[in-house]
């Protein structure tokens, strides 16, 4: 699961995005109402599922645009559009948005497919051409929540070769408990968050462990470069090939 920061006028909202259709399903299954999450998707096209975490619940008679600036909404829309194979090629697309609690998932649906409990709580926005300035800013804030890399042979080899990022990562990881790592996988981490009913838990986790998560992301990219052999290698559970969203 990818985590971004959308910051404008001294206000920051956390944006979450699944890395593929299976992780999208996992997020639908294990997100919970206390997160105050609002879901975004390119209407009528396959795209990433993007969630904005609000500071308080959104009431049924209140529009998202009354609570959040257009700049924050545009950040979420640009992530959706840019991670839509068809939508990214279009000059403009319609984005559908709704509170997470209005999503409906049944067993007969394909991975990544979702419906709604009520169409009354849907909002529609127009997202125009791809804005690389917005996407580059969001990319700089991106962190990945996935299984810890400490025990992997590749990381230890980098540390042995005196790679500073690897050494720092191993040292930081050695001084935190297993409870503070995303172990053994994202699903277990999200289950713990849901059980806690703490709507700020994911955001606080990212804030507390931002340095380690940034090191983890840099190391994954280093390993991808080192191990590049014509095909992208899956490293620490993350496949850095082109996304295919449903």
| Each residue's pLDDT tens digit, 199-243 | 999 999 999 889 988 888 888 888 877 666 544 444 444 443 443
Do residues 84 and 199 share a domain? no
113 and 58 fall within a common domain: yes
Residues 135 and 15 in one domain: yes
Tens-place pLDDT, residues 77-129: 999 999 999 999 999 999 999 999 999 998 888 988 899 999 999 999 999 99
pLDDT at 184 > cutoff 60: no
- Considering the domain architecture, whether residues 14 and 132 belong to the same structural domain is answered as yes
Total domains in the fold of the chain = 2
Please indicate whether residue 226 or residue 186 has the higher confidence score (pLDDT): 186
Domain range holding 163?
147-229
pTM of the shown model: 0.85
* pLDDT of 198 over the 60 cut: yes
* pLDDT tens readout for residues 43-68: 999 999 999 999 998 887 778 999 99
Looking at residue 28, its pLDDT comes to 95
Question: Any idea which residue has 């839509």 for tokens?
Answer: 84
Q: Higher-confidence residue: 199 or 183?
A: 199
Backbone φ and ψ for 83, nearest 5 degrees, come out as -105, 35
Which of 123, 141, 159 delimits the end of a domain?
141
What is the rounded distance in angstroms from the CA atom of residue 21 to the CA atom of residue 108?
Answer: 15
Q: Rounded to whole angstroms, how far apart are CA atoms 3 and 14?
A: 7
The torsion defined by the Cα of 219, 30, 187 and 98, in degrees rounded to 10, comes to: -30
Q: Are residues 176 and 73 in the same domain?
A: no
Q: Give pLDDT, residue 48.
A: 94
Tally Cβ neighbours within 10 Å of residue 167. 15
Phi-psi region of 27 (alpha: psi -120 to 50; beta: other; left: phi over 0): alpha
Q: Determine, yes or no, domain membership for 246.
A: no
pLDDT value for 44: 92
Instruction: Check: CB of residue 172 under 8 Å from CB of residue 211.
Output: yes
Beta bridge pairs of residue 8? 11
Tally Cβ neighbours within 10 Å of residue 87: 25
Assigned domain for 234 exists: no
Instruction: Give dist(CA 240, CA 73) in Å, integer.
Output: 26
Residue 101: burial class (beta carbons within 10 Å; 0-12, 13-18, 19+): middle
pLDDT score, position 233: 45
**How are beta strands 2-8 and 143-144 bridged, if at all?**
antiparallel
Q: Is residue 237 part of a domain?
A: no
For residue 204, being part of any structural domain is answered with yes
């Amino acid at each position: 699961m990818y985590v971004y920061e959308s910051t404008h006028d001294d206000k920051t909202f956390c944006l979450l995005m699944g890395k593929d259709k299976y992780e999208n399903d996992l997020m639908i299954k294990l997100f919970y109402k206390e997160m105050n999450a609002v879901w975004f998707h390119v209407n009528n096209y396959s795209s990433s599922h993007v969630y904005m975490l609000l500071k308080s619940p959104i009431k049924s008679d209140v529009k998202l645009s009354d609570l959040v600036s257009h700049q924050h909404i545009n950040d979420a829309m640009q992530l959706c559009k840019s991670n839509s194979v068809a939508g990214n090629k279009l000059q403009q697309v319609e984005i559908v948005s709704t509170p997470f609690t209005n999503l409906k998932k049944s067993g007969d649906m394909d991975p990544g497919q979702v419906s709604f409990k009520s169409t009354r709580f849907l909002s529609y926005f127009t997202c125009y051409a791809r804005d690389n300035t917005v996407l580059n800013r969001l990319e700089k804030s991106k962190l990945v929540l996935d299984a810890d890399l400490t025990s992997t042979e590749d990381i230890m080899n980098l540390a042995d070769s005196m790679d500073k990022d690897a050494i720092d990562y191993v040292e930081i990881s050695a001084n935190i408990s297993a409870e503070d790592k995303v172990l053994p996988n994202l699903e277990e981490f999200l289950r713990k968050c849901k059980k806690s009913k703490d709507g700020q838990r994911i955001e606080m986790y990212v804030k507390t462990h931002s340095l380690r998560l940034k090191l983890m992301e840099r190391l994954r990219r280093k390993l991808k470069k080192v191990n590049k052999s014509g095909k992208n290698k899956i490293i620490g559970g993350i496949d850095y090939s082109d996304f295919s969203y449903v």
